[in-house]
Structure 1
Amino acid sequence: MAMSLSYFSILPALLLAFSLIAEAATVTYDFNATWVRANPDGLFERPVIGINGKWPLPVMEANVGDQVIVNFQNQLGNQTTTLHFHGLFQNGTSYMDGPGQVTQCQVPDGGSIVYNFTTYERKAQQSGMYWYHSHHQGQYPDGIRAPFIIRDPEFPYKDKYDEEIILSVSDWYHEEMTTLIPKFLYKGNPTGAEPVPQSALMNDTQNLTVAVQPGKTYLFRMVNIGAFAGQYIWFEGHNMTIIEVDGVFTEAAEASMIYISAAQRCSFLLTTKNETTSNYAFVASMDTSLFDVMPDGLQWNSTSHLVYNKDLPLPEAQLVDELKEFDDFTLVPFDREALYPEPDQTISLDVIMDNLGDGKPYAFFNNITYVSPKVPTLYTAMTTGADASNPLVYGEYSHPFVLEKDQIVEVVVNNLDTGKHPFHLHGHNFQAIVRSDEEAGAFDATNATQTQYPSIPMRRDTIVLRPNGNTVLRFKANNPGVWLFHCHIEWHMDQGLIATFVEQPLEMQKSLIIPDDHKAICESQKIPTAGNAAGNTVNFLDLQGQNKAPDPLPAGFTPRGIAALAFSVLAAILGCAVITWYGLADMGAASQREEERRLAGMDGSEGATRKDSGSEASDTKVHSLD
């Protein structure tokens, strides 16, 4: 399924520079979400969520300082939805951030909403590689996700490249999320084994070809818009020079292979060779260490080509000896922002994967698995007066932390799980001051070796926490709003691996005005827009009736015990079915033999020979139990 380059733009540097010196503009997108059909890996056609009847979705583009308006309609017919503009701080417009029941109500079928924000704020200038996607009910892997580029006339590497190329990598599932999620969050899957995708994609296709010219330097902007798998990326015969991650410009760093987790972005320069005697493969390879199983037919590599000469063959990708990616923790921000001072507030979060009383697999920060509140958390912050500074009003199961103005906040995340987790913070970039190796255990602030922090830390908004390891992050609470901190593996979000940072709630009450159309979509669905997490507008500290997680398991149960119990129950059911099958078979055979003996006696013959009837057992169906 060879395809030409269709999902990125190539712009001459001169034209790009000219466009960027124009004054800030208003960029308007009219987006209508509808179902369309697609077959991006050439193996299976399925419904996907398109925009304006097309898929892949359009790449959003703006310049620093532009006002962006997205007139968004939901015409899916069977699902609610939202849009989140991943990586944008939404400084002063927290209500445009997009997570359902966090900063807005989900958009109902037939409903519409306007997202209106600027790409520049005095305290939060942003440019580079971002993306947009649904942030509701695990929906974006069904296709509602695409890159979002913000260009900056002051880009420090603007004179270092000739043309620009936009690439996405992703994993792809043949089943819809409404089918996959119930199979995953099911007591018959007590260990929480995540669904494994069928294919790796690049620019929502395979066998991509990228035409290049010799002796030129290209700016590649790359984003992982997948649901699960991180991806290793390398270009045969070429090196990459990293200059940006997650919208943060970095000092140039050369790499032969990079790793981009779900939700991460990386921009790099690539200089082509001076001859056109060969074409070259480049590969995105899914991180299969994340998968519990390796299904037959899994296409974990997506091979594309840099085409120097279209008349020459496209070579097969070469085998690599090992997957050894560049260590992004060593990157230095271009602005060389120094390490923040000692924290005013420290938040410690232990990552736990476990089961609750309903037998289903859940994910926890400490002992809390996230459950959406009855009132969007931002609306609770806006309507509970002085009590908005009390985390109790946001409900236990939104796992809230209240941050005060300009606090230095330190987040310590200890991975008590054997898998990788890409953690993403809304509304901010963070300084990554510790990221341990695998199996390092929990962070120990008294260990001098662990507290040798870099003087100029790497900064981004999504970081990979290693198996049984730890990470320490710092940021400044200078952006009033409600911001999620969560794992960006979609399955783990569905399991509840989310915390909520409520930043400067009293300041929000003074400075934010929630648009009428945002309130209207709540009212149309009878979702309350005032009060605490339980919808109580009289006593804000009374959380009776709040949405909550299932009760804990009985004492003494462990994940291994649950799995054993589940298999024992299944074995018992199958055993009973087999006994029933044999019993009915024997009854049927005995009845047939008795009838034969009766007939033999009636014909009066002595010692008549019995004919074996070979009678079949009754057709008994065994149904699995939920």
Structure 2
Amino acid sequence: MFSQKIWSLVFNLICSLLLLLPNESLSSPLSSSEPSLHSTSLNKRYNEKIYNIKITKESFAPDGFEREMYLINGQFPGPTIECNKDDVLVINVENCLNEDTTIHCHGIFQRGTPWYDGNPGETQCGIPPNETFTHKFNVNQSGTYWYHSHSRTQYIEGIVGPLIVHDPQDPYIDEYDEEIIILLQDWYHTDSKTLLATFLSPESQGVEPVPDNGLINGKNSFNCSAAPKDSVCKDAPLAGFNFVQGKKYRLRIINTSTFSAFIFSIDEHSLDVIEVEGMITKRHTVHRLPINVAQRYSVIVEANQPKAKYWMRGEMETTCFAQQNPNLNSLVKAVVSYAGCDDKDPSSKAWSDSVKDCVDLDASDLKPYKTQNVPDVDHKIKITISFQNDENNITLGYINNSTYKIDVKYPTLNKVFDGVTTYATDQNAFVIEKCEIIDLILNNTDNGEHPFHLTAQTCQTI
């Protein structure tokens, strides 16, 4: 059995494609009123919330271009999973594919339950075809999160949805009337397996594929004149949002893209940032919000403009792309309609504030709502990120000159429980003493900006 003195904090910062690995209205896939999705009410605290999700692959056309993609409970994006802080969350995942899959709750710490993190090769094996896997864990945090497949490139073509953890003690809870979830996503018309095979070949020279479109809550309209002749393509509606004049809205904005950073805005409406990835912050007002891959923000928006329609904009930061797609319309739009307005199309003007290309929101402008004391660290771990050619001339991500090799048949966590304390270099594993405090120092040597996040975390005796 594993030593009581040592617990392995094993994290693998996988740069596999830098997260290329992930036609309902807003009120359908992103509503908290899914009658068949969960079995208990959200108005009770310290409850067990049960969700059943079924993953299939079907023909679908989010932007009018029809293609085979993954669906969750027959819809895209997947239905909202939500609970209260300190609830127990149960997610029953039914895999109806002809391949394995996993579900990762992105941003959830999994303290004490790392085996439910959904990371194949690290915390579990994949869920086999026609099998069901149950995640059950306590949620002792709150904020805006999302869930997605962590198997290969599945999330970028459908296995994705929002995960919201409410806090009845949220200091801003009385400062808005309603919540709206907004998912931003780049979108590809080519099957992700093909994209991945091309990328992981010497011919790509490490140049990432460029998206064909962008989506807001799984919707946009593609210019079908640019579609291949043998494809099925038709006009599709934009996402729509309803405002009532005088009300205030909390927008939970999630970038579920593969590569694309976005700049989010609503014409003529200011955005007050109040949450960054689970951390409640002091208000910071912006007009245009840069949001990178996997990042999440909550902003408060007041419906204080004349009754009309306004453009919501998700501007894809194409200057960050390694190459350009001449058929890509990088400006993704949705329509915000005030109750009682006419049927005219929006004539609103975009904010003109300049935002630096490919750079996150300035962290110095984001202050925790409550003062945070930074603890002393026991030691520091320095991590250098680079992209290099391997022995086959394929460009891969490297951490301290080691590229990670996944072992799907013997996950890292299984090794931990088997008492393994020494890992191969290509596992990119760091073993630390139980409950140590460490600084991770990330040195990105690439000329592009890359997001990173920690997955399963725990501090306990095994």
SS of 1:421's partner is coil
Once the two structures are superposed, residues 434-479 of structure 1 have per-residue CA deviations (whole angstroms, 9 ceiling, x without a partner) of xxxxxxxxxxxxxxxxxxxxxxxxxxxxxxxxxxxxxxxxxxxxx2
TM-score (norm 2): 0.84
- Quote the residue 1:289 is aligned against: 319
- Distance in 2 separating the partners of 1:407 and 1:4: 44
Task: Return the match for 1:179 from 194, 212, 218.
Answer: 194
1:197 aligns with 2:211: yes
Q: Which amino acid aligns with 1:111?
A: E
Aligned match of 1:226: 257
In structure 1, stretches of 5+ residues that fail to align are 12-18, 121-125, 429-478, 481-503, 511-626
Aligned residues: 410
> 408, 415, 436: which is aligned to 2:437?
408
Instruction: Report how far residue 396 of structure 1 moved.
Output: 1.5
- Partner-residue secondary structure (3-state), 1:379: helix
Cα separation, partners in 2 of 1:372 and 1:41, compared to 1, 3 Å: same
C-alpha separation between the residues in 1 aligned to 2:85 and 2:24?
36
Amino acid at match of 1:114: T
Instruction: Tell me the equivalent position of 1:59.
Output: 80
Residue in structure 1 matching 2:296, options 258, 262, 265: 265
Equivalents in 2 of 1:421, 1:175: separation in Å? 24
**In the alignment, does 2:276 pair up with 1:245?**
yes
How far does residue 52 in structure 1 lie from its aligned partner after superposition? Answer: 2.8
The Cα of 1:240 is off from its aligned counterpart by 0.7
Q: Which residue of 2 aligns with 1:144?
A: 159
Deviation at residue 279 of structure 1 after TM alignment: 2.0
The separation in 2 between residues aligned to 1:93 and 1:252, in whole angstroms, is: 33
The equivalent of 2:46 in structure 1 is 24
* Deviation, structure 1 residue 66: 1.7
* TM-score normalized with structure 1 length: 0.63
Match of 2:394 in 1: 360
- The match for 1:117 among 116, 123, 137 is 137
2:345 to 296, 310, 314: 314
Mapped partners of 1:211, 1:354: distance in 2: 48
Residue 326 of structure 1 deviates from its aligned partner by: 4.1
Q: How far did 1:112 drift?
A: 1.8
Measured against aligned partners, the alpha-carbon deviations of 1:252-276 in whole angstroms (never above 9, x if no partner) come to 1111111111111000101111532
CA contact (8 A) 2:101 2:151 kept: yes
2:114 aligned with 1:94, yes or no? yes
Matched to 2:96, the amino acid is: Q
Distance 1:256 1:340 in 2: 34
Structure 2 stretches lacking a partner, 5+ long: 1-22, 34-40, 221-237
**In the alignment, which residue of structure 2 is the partner of 1:158?**
173
- Identity over aligned residues, as a percent? 33
**Kept after mapping to 2: 8 A contact 1:10/1:164:** no
Taking the aligned partners of 2:413 and 2:24, their CA distance within structure 1 comes to: 47
- Give the direction of change, closer, same or farther, for the CA distance of 1:244–1:160 in structure 2 (3 Å limit): same
Q: Deviation at 1:138?
A: 2.3
3-state secondary structure, aligned to 1:165: strand
Structure 2: distance between partners of 1:261 and 1:199: 17
8 Å CA contact 1:132, 1:147 repeated in 2 = yes
Give the match's secondary structure for 2:45.
Answer: coil
AA matched with 2:299: F
The structural deviation recorded for 1:315 is 2.0
> Which residue identity lines up with residue 143 of structure 1 in the other structure?
G
1:337 aligns with 2:375: no
Separation in 1 of the partners of 2:212 and 2:456? Answer: 33
- Give the 5 Å matches for 1:521-600: none
Q: Deviations over 1:179-209 (max 9, x none)?
A: 110011001112x000111111110102222
Give the residue type in structure 1 aligned to 2:182.
L
For 1:186, give the aligned amino acid: S
Q: Which amino acid aligns with 2:314?
A: A
Q: Give secondary structure in 1 for the equivalent of 2:174.
A: coil
**Structure 2 vs 1, CA of residues 25 and 5 (structure 1 numbering), >3 Å: closer, same or farther?**
closer
Secondary structure, aligned partner of 2:290: strand
| Distance change in 2, residues 1:348/1:133 (3 Å) | same
| Cα pair 1:282 1:317 within 8 Å, conserved | no
**Displacement of 1:56:** 2.7
1:225-284: per-residue Cα shift (whole Å, max 9, x none)?
1111111111111111111011111111111111111111000101111532x3211201
Superposed, 1:440-455 pairs within 5 Å as none
Q: Is the 8 A contact 1:36 1:55 kept in 2?
A: no
User: Counterpart amino acid of 1:221?
Assistant: R
Cα distance in structure 2, aligned partners of 1:317 and 1:197 = 27
Q: Secondary structure at the match of 2:439?
A: strand
Q: Does residue 1:45 correspond to 2:66, yes or no?
A: yes
With over 3 angstroms needed to count, the CA separation of the structure-2 counterparts of 1:336 and 1:427, relative to structure 1, is farther
Amino acid in structure 2 at the alignment position of 1:194: E
Q: Deviations over 1:395-419 (max 9, x none)?
A: 2211100122232211111121111
Matched-pair contact (CA < 8 Å) for 1:281–1:314: no
Q: Which amino acid aligns with 2:128?
A: P
Q: What is the CA distance between 1:178 and its match in structure 2? A: 1.1
Q: How many angstroms does 1:101 deviate by? A: 1.0
Distance (whole Å) between structure 1 residues aligned to residue 26 and residue 165 of structure 2: 25
String of CA shifts for 1:307-361, please: whole Å, max 9, x gaps: 11442422256464633474234311122112232x2121111111110111111
Contact 1:36-1:54 at 8 Å conserved across structures: no
Q: Which residue of structure 1 lines up, in the alignment, with residue 418 of structure 2?
A: 383
CA distance in 1, matches of 2:160, 2:433: 33
- Aligned amino acid, residue 131 of structure 1: W
Secondary structure of 1:188's aligned partner? helix
Q: For the residues of structure 2 that align with 1:317 and 1:48, how far apart are their CA atoms?
A: 35
- 1:522 maps to which residue? none
SS in 2 for 1:22: coil
- How far is 1:222 from its partner? 1.0
**1:540-564 Cα deviation digits (max 9, x unpaired):** xxxxxxxxxxxxxxxxxxxxxxxxx
Is this contact kept in 2: 1:229–1:288, CA < 8 A?
A: yes
Aligned residues of 1:99 and 1:135 also touching (Cα < 8 A): yes
Q: Which has the higher contact order (CA 8 A, sep 6+)?
A: 2
Whichever of the two has the greater Rg, that structure is 1
Structure 1 distance, partners of 2:424, 2:154, is 25
Do the aligned partners of residues 316 and 59 (structure 1) sit closer, same or farther apart at CA in structure 2, a change above 3 Å counting?
same
Asked whether the equivalents of residues 256 and 326 of structure 1 are also in contact (C-alpha less than 8 Å), the reply is: no
Q: Is the 8 A contact 2:287 2:353 kept in 1?
A: no
Distance in 1, matches of 2:274 and 2:211, equals 30
Q: Are the aligned partners of 2:380 and 2:441 in contact in 1 as well (CA < 8 Å)? A: yes
Judged with a 3 Å threshold, the aligned counterparts in structure 2 of structure 1 residues 54 and 216 are, in CA distance, closer, same or farther, namely closer
- RMSD between superposed Cα atoms in Å: 2.1
